[in-house]
Amino acid sequence: MILAQKYFIALKEALSEAAERLIFRELEKVDLVSGKDHLHPGYYRVHVDVIYPLGGRLSLFFDQDAGKQMVTEMVGEWIDDKEKIKDGLSEFANAACGRFLARYVEPHHHFKMGLPRCEQMNTAGGKETNGKLWAFKFDDLHIYAAFEEDLSR
Amino acid sequence: MYRVLIVDDSSTARALIKKSLDVCGLVAAQYLEARNGKEALDILKKETVDLVLTDVNMPEMDGFNLLRRIKSSPKLFDVPVVVITSLKNRTAEQILKKEQASAVLGKPLSIPEVHRMLKNQLHLI
């Protein structure tokens, strides 16, 4: 898998749309950062596999407080239960991945993706996304993201 | 009172759909919930509903199969099925409409789209 820079614009627009509609926040800025420095044990990681027409994986990462805050803002009530947080972050990733593919794929083509999977990381993120990922800043919330293209497919 | 069946494997998504329907004026509705197409069919065997709102990408039985099963059933054929999917683009919409989806909404939901759908499907102003 490689971090695919060419998908950056589609990913940025998709995350912006998902955040505006689901948590009413606007994108402030984006930085390319090191996973090793920014991803820590306990962070929530959501993967969505892209199956067709390109092969790859969208990964989103949230620190524990950001994950809780995101889901609380999405549903409009205080959420502290880890399974509910995982469910909410998965739904966010699902919507973002769909919008990402809709932007990338020509309108006359169909596209297919897998079910989102959310888990808490056991280790730091040095090995994630080949070491690099984008940090999207929405006010005080950061969402770390990468689309890795699977060139073997 | 309208009875609406919401089908999505994510409890967050079901909550967001209910909230959007509330915002769009469907206040006095009774919501039934299912986590996949199979659970939805079990509910539809026993209950009468005015509208089905379903996701596509779900485990066990997806929204495409649920839509086909509803539209091939003499008992359920008339129930409007609205598909809510993150996979929405022009092609997906054409395929779903060919399978007799009453409407196709994209995720994340947009309130004007939900409002239009309720107006068309339940004749709410």
Length of chain B: 125
Q: Say what the pTM is.
A: 0.91
Ranking A61-65, A120-124, B37-41, B83-87 by mean pLDDT, the lowest is A120-124
In Å, how far is B31's CA from the nearest CA of chain A? 17
Nearest residue on chain B to A108, judged by CA atoms? B91
pLDDT at B123: 82
Among A58, A94, A104, A111, most B C-beta atoms within 10 A, so best to mutate, is A94
Per residue in A118-128, pLDDT (tens digit) is 999 987 765 65
What is the C-alpha to C-alpha distance for residues B66 and A146, in angstroms, rounded to an integer? 33
Q: Do A111 and B87 touch (CB under 8 A)?
A: yes
Which of A24-33, A143-152, B43-52, B73-82 shows the lowest per-residue confidence on average (mean pLDDT)? A143-152
- Residue located via tokens 């620190």: A63
- Ranking A40-44, A106-110, B115-119 by mean pLDDT, the lowest is A106-110
Q: What is the pLDDT of residue A135?
A: 95
pLDDT at A125: 66
pLDDT of residue A1: 45
pLDDT at B62 > cutoff 50: yes
- Assess contact for A73 and A132: CB atoms under 8 A: no
Instruction: State how many domains chain A has.
Output: 1
The pLDDT confidence band at residue A110, using thresholds 50, 70 and 90, is confident
pLDDT of residue A5: 67
Mean of the pLDDT values across residues A45-59? 90
Residue A43 is part of a domain; what is its CATH number?
3.40.1550.10
3 state DSSP class of A105 = coil
Q: For the residues B44-70, what does the mean pLDDT come to? A: 95
CATH of B2-122, one of 3.30.1360.40, 3.40.50.2300, 3.40.30.10, 3.40.50.970: 3.40.50.2300
Please, which pLDDT band fits residue B55 given cuts at 50, 70 and 90? very high
Residues of chain B contacting A111 with CB distance shorter than 8 Å = 87, 89, 92
Asked if B89's CB is within 8 angstroms of A102's CB, the reply is yes
Extended strands (E) in chain A: 2-3, 29-34, 44-52, 56-62, 112-113, 117-120, 132-138, 141-149
In terms of CA atoms, which chain A residue is nearest residue B94?
A108
A115 CB neighbours in chain B (<8 A) are 9, 57-59
Confidence at residue A36, expressed as pLDDT on a 0 to 100 scale: 87
Chain segment B79-106, per-residue pLDDT in tens: 999 999 988 888 888 888 999 999 999 9
Enter the tokens of residue B18: 């209910």
Mean pLDDT, chain A, whole residue set? 88
Check CB contact under 8 Å for A115 and B57: yes
Domain boundaries, chain B: 2-122
Question: What pLDDT does residue B33 have?
Answer: 98
Q: Do A75 and B87 make contact, defined as CB atoms within 8 angstroms?
A: no
